[in-house]
Structure 1
Amino acid sequence: MKAFLDILKPNQLIYPNTVGYDWNQVDVNRPQGHPYYHWLQTNQGEGVVNIDNKSIILSKNDGILITPFTPHKYQSDQFWTTNFITICGYASIFFQKQLGEKKYFVLRESSCVDKDIYNLTNKLDSSCDDAQISLQTYKIFLDILHGVQQVSAEGYKSIPICWEIKNYIDDNYMEKISIKKIGRLFNISPQYIIKVFKQAFNISPYRYLTKKRISEAEKLLISNKDLLISEVANLVGFDGASHFIDVFKRVENCTPLEFRLIYYQGADFNHE
């Protein structure tokens, strides 16, 4: 059982405010919600989360991501241990764009997040540097985000071509991809691709490709500060640095360089 509470790192892009693994969970009531994105997951036993007039049972490996300032409480009438993390930092202002407008997200059988939190508590226990802690925290958010995206598309798994196209984009985002090229590859019309992809994932193939490239670019910007912006642009499939910068700024309201500066120096700037 490990827990780290009230971690204060105001200059970090993304960082855990609290994190715990296999924690002996007590009853919690937050009528005003939590100020940060809060992930709660059952490790052993079973608990109940009351949120938005619903009661959600969390069995082993089930988890819930609760958005900031969403009232909630949770309790159990049995022995209950949990894994949890609250995520703060400059990057958290971007989360809503990626997650959408819902107040909470329930993920079943999220064993990968369980392992991520275990690894993070070990890093904190061994006094790893802030950059490693931040990277592991970002990985946790990305794994939760991936789970949320899968759940949102659950009702459309009967259209397998959508998943084939999505997997193709995930595997080839660094290459030159167009709707026409995908159409030729799968022998279907561009219009049909756009229609079924948007039905399944609530996003166009082009926007999904853009978000995928930006997400991968952010990983590179954080993990390798020696890479030039033009090199990052090339590695994730943009035609050049100017195009990359324009798209990045449109998606994240900051330039790639500003994004990197926030992470490494805690530089402050205004988001419009």
Structure 2
Amino acid sequence: MPVYYNLTYQDEPLSIDSIGSHWEQPTVSRPSGYPYYHWMQTESGVGEIFLEGKRIVLKEGQGILIAPFVAHQYFSHRSSEWTTSFATFNGSLANEIGQIVGNAPYLLAEEQPYFSFFEWVETQIQQQVSNPSMDSVELSIACYQFLMQLSRFQEKHSSQKHELYVTYVQPIIEEIETNYREALTVEQLAEKVFVSPQYLSRLFQRFLGMSTYAFLLRYRLNKAKELLINRQELEVQQVAYLVGFKDTSHFVATFKKESSYTPLEFRRLHR
């Protein structure tokens, strides 16, 4: 259960006041809230959060960003074990975070094919382990990127009511989530919604910030990461096949290009 505090000097625009993962989350009650923006995400189990007169259930992969000084309390659902990862943000521009994520008392988000909030936390912890005197400017940039992904998540979900998203993008996402193991191509996917591959990719770029192929690739790689961590008995070749890669060498090269690690290196990091 690693936890670190004050990773950089607070005179940087953005910094991390505290960060941790695999935390066996106890019951917490803060009638006056917390002084910094506080991100918390469920790794396993289920949590319940009460704030702003609402009850929020936080399931695996789901997270919440709570604004400073918002009264809240949280605890495990039905007294079961609840494991979380978290990060709190400060810095010289901490008061401006609201302009990045919107001035709401809280934001809800969850793991996405294009970005993993959990992996971001794990990466910052791994960097702290390997390099305690890490570059504060780089960390400030990483914090900004994290907050921008939260903002992007909100924009994405507001756009999901758009007619074009519902008609063309959503069915393809569901197709990918169901059949990512199969030999899918962008051409085949486009045929399912009766548009050209180019038009479909423009819609994906508009609503998700990436092409259809990039979304499919990212989804497969995220599924591969899940298998590498949770199914230690599987060989890399088996993992590649289970997520839709028919060529192991291509899988390894693609995995390393996207994550900076080979599949085996990634598995060792999370063993």
* TM bracket, shorter-chain basis: 0.5 to 0.7
**SS in structure 2 of the partner of residue 17 of structure 1:** strand
Q: Tell me how far 1:180 sits from its aligned partner.
A: 1.2
**SS in structure 2 of the partner of residue 73 of structure 1:** coil
Q: Tell me how far 1:25 sits from its aligned partner.
A: 3.1
Partner of 1:140: none
Partner of 1:241: 248
The C-alpha deviation readout for 1:100-159, integer Å capped at 9, x for no partner, is: xx6687128x9xxxxxxxxxxxxxxxxxxxxxxxxxxxxxxxxxx99x858624324322
**CA distance in structure 1 between the aligned counterparts of 2:203 and 2:243, rounded to whole angstroms:** 25
**CA distance in structure 1 between the aligned counterparts of 2:157 and 2:70, rounded to whole angstroms:** 30
Of 20, 26, 29, 1:24 maps to 29
Q: Tell me how far 1:239 sits from its aligned partner.
A: 2.4
Q: Tell me how far 1:260 sits from its aligned partner.
A: 0.6
**SS in structure 2 of the partner of residue 231 of structure 1:** helix
Conservation of the 8 A alpha-carbon contact between 1:173 and 1:213? yes
**CA distance in structure 2 between the aligned counterparts of 1:166 and 1:150, rounded to whole angstroms:** 18
Q: Tell me how far 1:17 sits from its aligned partner.
A: 3.4
TM-score of the two chains, using structure 1 as the length reference: 0.56
Q: Where do 1:181-260 residues align within 5 Å?
A: 181-260=188-267
Partner of 1:82: 74
**CA distance in structure 2 between the aligned counterparts of 1:9 and 1:75, rounded to whole angstroms:** 23
In structure 2, the CA distance between the partners of 1:150 and 1:179, relative to structure 1 (3 Å rule), is farther
In structure 2, the CA distance between the partners of 1:75 and 1:66, relative to structure 1 (3 Å rule), is closer
**CA distance in structure 2 between the aligned counterparts of 1:194 and 1:261, rounded to whole angstroms:** 35
Of 155, 180, 186, 1:173 maps to 180
Q: Tell me how far 1:45 sits from its aligned partner.
A: 4.8
Identity score, percent: 22
**CA distance in structure 2 between the aligned counterparts of 1:39 and 1:59, rounded to whole angstroms:** 18
Q: Tell me how far 1:39 sits from its aligned partner.
A: 4.3
**CA distance in structure 1 between the aligned counterparts of 2:174 and 2:250, rounded to whole angstroms:** 24
Conservation of the 8 A alpha-carbon contact between 2:204 and 2:212? yes
Of 42, 55, 61, 2:56 maps to 61
In structure 2, the CA distance between the partners of 1:182 and 1:250, relative to structure 1 (3 Å rule), is same
**CA distance in structure 1 between the aligned counterparts of 2:255 and 2:198, rounded to whole angstroms:** 27
Conservation of the 8 A alpha-carbon contact between 1:221 and 1:227? yes
Greater CA drift, 149-158 or 176-185: 149-158
- What CA RMSD, in Å, does the superposition of the two structures yield over aligned residues? 3.8
**CA distance in structure 1 between the aligned counterparts of 2:199 and 2:219, rounded to whole angstroms:** 21
**CA distance in structure 2 between the aligned counterparts of 1:44 and 1:209, rounded to whole angstroms:** 33
Read off the aligned partner of 2:64 and give its amino acid letter. L
**CA distance in structure 1 between the aligned counterparts of 2:75 and 2:244, rounded to whole angstroms:** 37
Count matched residues.
Answer: 186
Verify: 1:38 aligned to 2:40, yes or no: yes
Read off the aligned partner of 2:2 and give its amino acid letter. L
TM-score of the two chains, using structure 2 as the length reference: 0.56
**SS in structure 2 of the partner of residue 27 of structure 1:** coil
**CA distance in structure 1 between the aligned counterparts of 2:251 and 2:75, rounded to whole angstroms:** 37
